[in-house]
Amino acid sequence: MYRCVAATLEGFVQQIATAYVPHGYWFYVQGLIPERKRAETVDEKLIGRYGVAMSKWARARHKRAGLASIQYIRFERIFVIMVTQGQHPFFEEEHGAIRDVAQDADPDWGLQHQRAARSGRQAACARSH
């Protein structure tokens, strides 16, 4: 089973900053799961759609073949999908929403949604497919 749920906001950011970005996961999309949807259902859908749940050995084979690897992480209702360079249907399906860590001086990883929710303001929803 692919573990994708961070227990804390700090853990969510730490996983992205120390485990994904330094290992070449430079492209990402972020989103907010709407209240009307079960977060676990969205997790399963996105993990299945993009083939996220694979062993480190399969990821290594993908890399040698010029294919991208992909990671998915969620904290509460915020999610981030991170991808390495290479070929992957993700790049076509998410074309308009993909951001590059190197070109984004201050990525907030969807934290503005978390801050707005905690302060009682209404946050805008991103796509959750």
Burial class (CB in 10 A: 0-12, 13-18, 19+), 113: buried
Overall pTM > 0.75: yes
Which neighbouring-strand residues pair with 67?
Answer: 87
Residue ranges per structural domain of the chain: 9-119
Three-class DSSP labels, 41-98: HHHHHHHHHHCCCCCHHHHHHHHHCCECCEEEEEECCEEEEEECCCECHHHHHCCCCC
Instruction: Output the DSSP codes for 110-124.
Output: THHHHHHHHHTPPPP
In this predicted structure, what is the pLDDT of residue 77?
A: 94
Distance (Å, rounded) from C-alpha 106 to C-alpha 70? 21
Distance CA 90, CA 70 (A): 9
pLDDT tens for the chain, residues 1 to 129: 789 999 999 999 999 999 999 999 999 999 999 999 999 999 999 999 998 998 889 888 988 999 999 999 999 999 999 999 999 999 999 989 999 988 876 666 555 545 455 555 444 334 343
CA distance 112 to 21: 20
